[in-house]
Amino acid sequence: MKQKLSSHQTIGLEHLGLSGLGDVYWNLSAPALYEHAIRRGEGLIAADGPLVVRTGQHTGRSANDKYFVREPASEKEIWWGKINQSITPEQFRKLHARITSYLKSKDVYVRDGYCGADPTHRLPIRIVTEYAWHSLFASNLFIPSDGSTPSTPPFTVIDAPGCLANPKEDGTRSETFIVVNLSQRLVLIGGTSYAGEIKKSIFTVMNYLMPFADTLPMHCSANIGKDGNTALFFGLSGTGKTTLSADGSRVLIGDDEHGWSSNGVFNFEGGCYAKMIRLSPTAEPEIYATTRRFGTVLENVVLDETRRTLDLDSDTLTENTRGAYPISFIPNTSETGRGGHPKHVIFLTADAFGVLPPVSRLTRAQALYHFLLGYTAKIAGTEKGITEPTPNFSACYGAPFMPLHPQRYAELLGQRIDQHKPHVWLINTGWSGGAYGVGKRISIAHTRAMVHAVLDGRLDDVPVNIHPVFGLQMPTECPGVPREVLDPRNTWADKAAYDAQAKQLAGRFAEKFREFADQVSPDVRAAAVAAG
């Protein structure tokens, strides 16, 4: 039986150019969306209840197919370039006409909600999708509507994976497009079934809007200790951001996207979008348990279609297997999605060159320097063509989603550090005793011990040594960690090789920092010199 809709629900989409649709399904429950997805052949149900789907040729974000409409209100604010590409209003009009024409006579699913757990800064959103499972994804990832009428129009995403652009006519790079129109409060997504584009497009919008509300948007996880102290964990993929913040002794605020306003820290989302590949029931029990729950959406996880059992270790479809689930599926999570001003800020890096200390404390200037660089390393096999460790820099630990110049976000971070005096740390979860292929990855037990010592304040007054190349303050002792591990040079058999490797990486840091050197304060430039 199909749900009957009241006329105002259908009319509510006409201002978006969506008319002549099939049936419109508004804010369906998870069980109803399961039924629709199965009936439409969009996925399969695994033995323990999750909905398993495939995203086709796109198993990750299409970064080169994302555009902003170049329009007067935002043109002078956006940091235009390879990351933030422009498209004309006329090109947007053509794509809008194409996607609304494509959806005529088709059923659509509408999800209303919010991005932002702080009522002062929350953004009303509306997600219109072609697929039922994309609506379930949006239901899991965003904060549900409370039924009230928003004071501002919602920012809407129209998501139609089957609608393909014509590059010659539309001016796109390919048939795939993710286009943000800030003035019309509208995002168009076509040519890709990867649901992460929905999440990241709204995150991108928040990253544009929040600085104008004196709020720092952050690509980080956050949790709260028993003493009420909040901690932030910044880091790129593979550095341990989700794993290290999911700590049974602390309350999880969120695992990926947050704001830091005058009120404190708040989660942007109502759910989690975690990597599933080689997930361990012992190392990551909370996340692993979500793969056995009704309501979880699993993307590109290999499924035995006869027995309906999962193979989380298989990368047959992609290394980037994902799971989307409500944050309530994780035990010990915040009911409000909010925390106080952080006492500790942790930058995570996985240094595959084996030269950065496993833990070091940063000055304010060093914090802004490392925030602007956003360094980690890619290792052989993670991407096509990578055969040896390669530096990977992503400004603010989230450059693909930052529409403004990185210095804007760095200035806000500097203000927060000045106001609330958090301790800032750099923790290396990468290699020790040599580069990737020679050394070994730093023990997760040692990393957890260092994180616990940081958050418990046990490293605040420990004597430090200054790293001779990077100028970092290295604690000389840490409970649960051998002393020799704390100074990376001590772990290398060939000390001359370590020195050469450290100087080489510092040179890569200096080369990257030249992009920002003209915009930063003298103390940050001095920190850059000390690190290079």
Q: What is the pLDDT of residue 8?
A: 37
Is the pLDDT confidence value at 383 over 70?
no
Smallest CA-to-CA distance from 134 within 372, 297, 331 is with 297
- Report the amino acid identity of residue 484: E
Tokens representing residue 361 in the block: 């404390």
- At residue 400, the 3 state secondary structure works out as helix
SS (H, E, C) 102-146: HHCCCCEEEEEEEECCCCCCCEEEEEEECCHHHHHHHHHHCEECC
Q: What is the pLDDT of residue 388?
A: 67
Quick: pLDDT tens for 285-334.
889 999 999 999 999 999 999 999 999 999 999 999 999 999 999 999 99
Is the pLDDT confidence value at 1 over 70?
no
* Alpha helices, H only, 273-394: 285-290, 364-373
Q: What is the pLDDT of residue 248?
A: 83
pTM: 0.93
As a whole number, the mean pLDDT across the chain is 93
Smallest CA-to-CA distance from 337 within 221, 425, 419, 475 is with 221
Q: What is the pLDDT of residue 517?
A: 87
Residue ranges of E strands in 155-244: 155-160, 177-181, 186-190, 216-224, 230-234
CA dist 341 → 248, 260, 420 (Å): 21, 8, 7
Asked if residue 129 lies in contact with residue 42, where contact means CB atoms within 8 angstroms, the answer is no
Tokens representing residue 328 in the block: 């309530």
- At residue 208, the 3 state secondary structure works out as helix
Q: What is the pLDDT of residue 372?
A: 97
Neighbours of 385 (CB within 10 A): 6
Burial of 269 (0-12, 13-18, 19+ CB in 10 A): buried
Instruction: List active site positions.
Output: 61, 200, 219, 237, 241-242, 256, 322
Smallest CA-to-CA distance from 427 within 383, 400, 397 is with 397
Is the pLDDT confidence value at 277 over 90?
yes
Tokens representing residue 64 in the block: 């080169």
Q: What is the pLDDT of residue 521?
A: 84
Q: What is the pLDDT of residue 532?
A: 61
Quick: pLDDT tens for 415-426.
999 999 999 999
Q: What is the pLDDT of residue 491?
A: 96
Least confident of 176-190, 234-248, 252-266: 234-248
Quick: pLDDT tens for 253-271.
999 999 999 999 999 999 9
Say how far apart CA 159 and CA 173 lie, in whole Å: 18
Say how far apart CA 59 and CA 299 lie, in whole Å: 8
Q: What is the mean pLDDT of residues 229-234?
A: 97
- Report the amino acid identity of residue 54: R
Residue ranges of E strands in 389-468: 390-393, 423-428, 431-432, 440-441, 464-466
